[in-house]
Amino acid sequence: MELGLQNKKLLITGGSRGIGRGIVLAAARAGADVITCYRQESEAVESLTRELKETGGQHHVVRADVGEIEEIDRLLEEAKERFGSLDGVVNNAGVISHIPFEKLPADEWSRILDTNLTAAYRVIQQALPLFGDGASVVNIGSRGAAAGIPLRAHYTAAKSAMIGLTRSLAKELGPKGVRVNVVAPGVIETEAFDDMPAERAEGLRATYSQKTSLARLGTTDEIAGPVLFLLSDLSRYVTGATINVDGGI
Ligand code: NDP
C-alpha cells in the first residue's frame, strides 16, 4: 500500500513555520503539489520557497491572512487559477494568546476565533467547488482543548469547535465523497522553542515530557505523518475522526 499523493493538489494554510511547514514539506516530498500561505514576510518564507523548489513539483507560497474572509477568497481563487482543482485541504494556520478570561477583550476573542475557527469554515466552503471525488480535509485541532487550558479560553473554544465542525461536515459531505477529520497535536517542538531563552525552553521540555507516556515532546514530522495518512487513500474509510497525536498524554 502506498500513500499515493503523487501529483495530488493540496492547499495547506500557515506553511511558513512550525507544524504547517513540516506538513507542506512532507507532502511535497511525497510528490504532491502544494499551495500554502503565510501572514507576514520573513526569512522563513524565503527558506520554505527554496526547500520546496528542491522537491520538484508545482508549489506556490502566497501571502494571505486567513483571519480575513476576503483574503481567504483570494487564496482560493489563486488555488483555482494555479491548480484548477484540489484533492485536499489542511486548515493548519493558528494563533494563540494567554489572557485571564476576566480581562479578555472582545477584539482579541474575535481575532483568535477568526483565525483558528472561522478560517476553516470559509476555506472548506470555498474549496468545495474545486474538490474531485475522494477529497480530504484535515483540520488541525489541539489536544489541550479537550482538557481545557487556563488563560486560553478563547483558543480552546475555537479548537473544540473544530471538532463539531468536522463531525457535522463529515456527515454532510460524506455522501459527496469528501472526508473531514481532525489531527489534535499535543505539545510539539517548533521554532518557537529556538526563539526563547535556553533555560525556559529546557523547563518547558521537562514539564511537558513528564506528562506524556513517551516522555518527550513531539516533532513537526510526527504531526505531518498522520496528516499525510488522512490526506491519502490509506484512510479512505476514515471520516469524522479526531486523531490525538500527543505522545500519550
Ligand atoms: P506557529 O506559530 O509555529 O506557525 C503558525 C503558522 O501559521 C505560521 O506559518 C504563520 O505564518 C501561519 N499563520 C498564523 N496566522 C495566520 C494567518 N492569520 N493567516 C495565514 N497564516 C497564518 O504555530 P504551530 O506550528 O505551533 O501551530 C500550527 C497549528 O497547530 C495551529 O493551528 C496550532 O493551534 C496547532 N497546535 C500547535 C501545538 C504546538 O505545540 N505547537 C499544539 C496543539 C495545536 P507567519 O509566519 O506569517 O506568522
For residues 60, 65, 69 and 73, what is the CA-based torsion angle, rounded to 10 degrees? Answer: -10
Q: Which of 13, 25, 34, 38 to mutate to test the pocket of ligand 1 (most atoms within 8 A of CB)?
A: 38
What is the reported pTM? 0.98
pLDDT digits (tens, 9 = 90+) for 107-133: 999 999 999 999 999 999 999 999 988
Domain range list for the chain: 9-241
86 pLDDT above the threshold of 90: yes
Could you tell me the three cell numbers for 249?
498524554
Q: Which CATH code for domain 9-241?
A: 3.40.50.720
Predicted local distance difference test score (pLDDT) of residue 168: 98
Mean pLDDT, the chain, whole residue set: 97
* pLDDT at res. 26: 98
Q: Is the pLDDT of residue 237 over 90?
A: yes
Residue 75 Cβ inside 6 Å of ligand 1? The answer reads: no
Separation of 73 CA from ligand 1 center, angstroms? 20
Cα–Cα distance measured from residue 167 to residue 179, given in angstroms and rounded to the nearest whole number: 10
Give 40's pLDDT tier (boundaries 50, 70, 90).
Answer: very high
Nearest CA to ligand 1 atom 39: 188
Of 49, 95, 143, the one to substitute when testing ligand 1's pocket (max ligand atoms within 8 A of C-beta) is 95
CA distance 115 to 158: 9
pLDDT in tens, 152-196: 999 999 999 999 999 999 999 999 999 999 999 999 999 888 888
Q: What angle do CA 43, 48, 52 make, to 5 degrees?
A: 155
Is residue 150's pLDDT more than 90? Answer: yes
Distance CA 248, CA 240 (A): 21
Q: Model ipTM?
A: 0.99
| 140 CB within 6 A, ligand 1 | yes
Residue nearest to atom 3 of ligand 1 (CA): 18
- The residues that bridge with 243 in the sheet, in sequence order, are 183
Q: What's 151's DSSP letter? A: T
